[in-house]
Amino acid sequence: MEKRFVKLYLHKSQSAALEKMLEKDEITIMSKSQIDEKQYQYEFIINATGSDNLLDRIEHDFSKIKDFHMYFFNIEAEIPRPKEPEKEPEKEEEKKENKYVFQRLTRQELYNDINKDVTISVSYILLIIISSIIAGIGLIRDNSTIIIGSMVIAPFLGSNVSLAFSTTIGDRKTLLQSLEKLFIGIGISFSIALLWGFFYKIDPSVYEIASRTTISITDIILAFITGVAAILSVNKGVVDALVGVMVAVAFMPPIIASGLLIGNGMIDKGLSALLLFFINIVAINLAGVLTFLVEGLRPSTYWEEKNAKKYRIISLIIWIFLLSLMSYLLYIIF
């Protein structure tokens, strides 16, 4: 089981309360030192999975007190290797409880990882522009290698993951930031392709372009499964797996193909490619919210959970309605 090394700074008046809290959860304090006359430093180790409640209580009780800080560090290795403790026979109730415990990062780690890249930056704009141009060149030259390069560079996946995450926990600020970032990226990439299409004659029969105008139910299944894979990778901190997810979902090629085709006056084919792009968006977000829920991601308090439940219900209704509508359009058009 993955572990985290925690370094915590706290006002000395709260030290007894913290120690009691850690003792209750059977957390061993590795070191305790006095930084100055008002502040203590604690070091201890927690499991990466199943520590949400403890961290919530620490944050709730101490975060508003001056001098409080808490830092997390990954433990890459441990020598000597920890031995697995002998397990006592579990009661039926415990078995049911443990059956649904998933190995994932803590909510605090997920929030930090996702929110540090939720704002619009110059690098985000540049990556959108660069990946749009690369995708356009790959489509025109019918070169799948170049197109794959654009998929890896395109930063659309992060916006969709943060959108699914903020919807699940009911974080309105992050949700709005994610939507803004996503639609600005869409607007820039589509505008580049549309302008390109006005001045450059393209061949719609080229395979890499034509394949973006023909959609089937397998595209919806692929987008949904890819969404599940993306959230599982994020939840476990497996960044390497996200490269494969980016290639599988293919955000950039459909929207660039759409702009090029519409710019060339081929409105019907362009709209088909645009439909494929939004199918990917909707299916990934639906899969993302459901996967976060199955993996046990919830807000820290009852009132936050009550608010988040509204967000989840509304978002699930919207995503399911849009996916149903798009599936119906597929049935009619194709």
Write the pLDDT tens digit of every residue in 186-244. Answer: 999 999 999 999 999 999 999 999 999 988 888 889 889 988 888 888 877 766 556 66
Q: Side chain identity at 219, as an amino acid letter?
A: D
Q: What is the pLDDT of residue 244?
A: 67
The residue out of 78, 95, 128 marking a domain boundary is 78
CA angle (137, 143, 149) in 5-degree steps? 70
Tell whether 101 is covered by a domain.
no
Which are the contacts of 141, defined by CB distance < 8 A and separation ≥ 6?
Answer: none
Tell whether 273 is covered by a domain.
yes
Give residue 113's region: left, alpha or beta (phi > 0; psi -120 to 50).
alpha
**Predicted structure pTM score:** 0.77
152 and 293: one domain?
yes
Q: What is the pLDDT of residue 241?
A: 58
Tell whether 48 is covered by a domain.
yes
What mean pLDDT is reported for the chain? 85
Lowest mean pLDDT: which of 29-33, 109-113, 183-187, 258-262?
Answer: 109-113
pLDDT level of residue 100 (50, 70, 90 thresholds): very low
**pLDDT over 70 percentage in the chain:** 88
240 and 304: one domain?
yes
263 and 194: one domain?
yes
171 and 299: one domain?
yes
Tell whether 144 is covered by a domain.
yes
Range of the domain at 21: 3-78
261 and 179: one domain?
yes
Number of domains in the chain: 2
Tell whether 215 is covered by a domain.
yes
178 and 302: one domain?
yes
Q: What is the pLDDT of residue 297?
A: 83
Of residues 22 and 117, the one with the higher pLDDT is 22
CA-based end-to-end distance of the chain: 48
Residue 1 above 70 pLDDT?
A: no
* Residues 157 and 181: beta-carbon distance below 8 Å: no
235 and 139: one domain?
yes
27 and 142: one domain?
no
Lowest mean pLDDT: which of 89-103, 164-178, 217-231, 247-261?
Answer: 89-103
Residue 68 token pair: 């409080």
Count of helix runs (H) and strand runs (E) in the chain:
14, 4
CATH number for the domain harbouring residue 65: 3.30.70.240
* Residues 158 and 117: beta-carbon distance below 8 Å: yes
Could you give the count of Cα atoms lying within 13 Å of 135 in the half-sphere of its Cβ? 30
pLDDT level of residue 94 (50, 70, 90 thresholds): very low
164 and 39: one domain?
no
pLDDT level of residue 128 (50, 70, 90 thresholds): very high
Tell whether 133 is covered by a domain.
yes
Residue 334 above 70 pLDDT?
A: no
Question: Which DSSP letter does residue 52 get?
Answer: H
Tell whether 326 is covered by a domain.
yes
Over residues 30-86, the pLDDT tens digits come to 999 998 888 999 999 988 777 888 888 898 888 888 889 999 888 877 777 766 655
198 and 73: one domain?
no
73 and 145: one domain?
no
111 and 70: one domain?
no
Q: What is the pLDDT of residue 189?
A: 96
Tell whether 228 is covered by a domain.
yes
